[in-house]
Amino acid sequence: MKKTIKIRAYIQTFFFLLIAAISINHGLEESGQGIPFLSAASLHALCPFGGVVTLYQTITTGTFVQKIHESALAMLYSVIVLSVLFGPVFCGWVCPLGTLQEWIGKLGKRIFKKRYNRFMPIFINSKLRYLRYLVLAWVVYVTAKSGVLLFVNVDPYYALFNFWTGEVALSALAILALTMVGALFVERPWCKYTCPFGAFLGIFNLFRIFKIKRETSTCIDCGACGKACPMNIRVDKNKTVRDHQCISCRICTSEEVCPIPDTVEFKTGGGLSEN
């Protein structure tokens, strides 16, 4: 019987609770009741995407976009190192908004069984996935032009950990609600179609060092890896996964769903031409 890997779930839960606790502590600190030994940094200070949106301003003027600080850039550098090595593991293992969508998705799977994550017509689905690059371009452009973190007005991640503060724009709350409802039908809808940071990290899938690789000589073509992929990537049709949407969650590997040992694995090797 296949061993179920729970390590990722533990790590996701840890980061979700950590960010929630820090966000609550941030509010408590402002009222003079902060919890000692726990960071009270603002969410913007800890989000590596802040590093992406401030890059233009930081390079050209040496200053930071409103609400962004050095820590966001430090986080971005760590995430870039991880992404060069392993692809967007930040999305699959750390991002609390992705975690929340996965939790809601578990409910969706119970309700819709095999139909879950298969509602969207393939043609529309494949085109819609590039929308997040438009979002990324828009966010970087408007932030560079204005020097203001306008994305916060539509950011469901900020809304998730600040909805009780009264500082969240209604538009961000609405997008969070849409994301949560959408996650009942589609696995990680925000990540798939809209997340600008996911779009940025997705680029690393093209040249990351550790890749998802399928050994064709032992593969029995059961299609389990492709069916299990939360991002609807046809792992079973590739030797090496370079899809920009892979989140390196490793669900497709022999550790999780692949029934044949050493067949779908997370490893180095394989050039760009291999597929």
Partner 1 sequence: MKIKSGVLGIIIFLAIFGGIAFSSSLGYWQTESSKEPAVYDSGEFEGMPNPGDIRGSYSFSDVSEAFGIPIEDLTMAFVLPEDTDPGEFKNKDLELIYENLKEEGTEIGNGSVKLFVALYLGLPYEIEEGTFLPLEAVAILKEKAEPTEEQIEYIERNGIEVRSYNAEESPALEMDDDAKTSGEETDERTINGKTTFADLLDWGITSESIGKILGTDIPEAGLSIKDFCTQKGLEFLPIKEELQREADALDQG
Where do contacts with partner 1 occur on this chain (CB under 8 A)? 5, 7-8, 10-11, 39, 41-42, 45-46, 61-64, 66-67, 69-71, 74-75, 77-79, 81-82, 85-86, 89, 93-94, 146-148, 210, 250, 255, 265-269
Nearer to partner 1, 82 or 175 (CB): 82
Closest approach, Cβ 17 to partner 1, in A, equals 15
CB 235 within 8 A of CB 219: no
Minimum distance from CB of 181 to partner 1 (Å)? 29
Q: Report in angstroms how near the CB of residue 164 gets to partner 1 at its nearest.
A: 16
d(CA 163, CA 48): 20
Looking at residue 28, its amino acid is L
Q: SS3 for 206-273, per residue? A: HCCCCEEEECCCCCCCCCHHHHHCCCCCCHHHCCECCCCCCCCCCCCCCCCCCCCCCCEEEECCCCCC
Closest CB to partner 1 among residues 186, 224: 224
- Shortest Å, Cβ 251 to partner 1: 10
Q: Which is nearer to partner 1, 85 or 154 (CB)?
A: 85
Residue 161 burial (CB count, 10 A) = 23
User: Closest approach of Cβ 212 to partner 1, in Å?
Assistant: 11
Residues 53 and 65 sit within 8 Å (Cβ to Cβ): yes
Shortest approach of partner 1 to residue 66 CB, angstroms? 7
Alpha helix positions (H), the chain: 7-30, 43-46, 48-61, 70-86, 89, 96-112, 122-128, 131-146, 156-160, 170-182, 189-193, 196-202, 224-228
Max CA pair span of the chain: 63
Residues with Cβ within 8 Å of residue 63, at least 6 apart in sequence: 57
Please state the closest distance from residue 208 (CB atom) to partner 1, in A.
12
Nearer to partner 1, 179 or 263 (CB): 263
Residue with tokens 């690393």: 204
For partner 1, which is the closer residue by CB, 70 or 177? 70
**How many whole angstroms separate alpha carbon 163 and alpha carbon 152?**
12
For residues 66 and 125, which CB has a smaller minimum distance to partner 1 in the complex?
A: 66
Closest to partner 1 by CB, 77 vs 207, is: 77
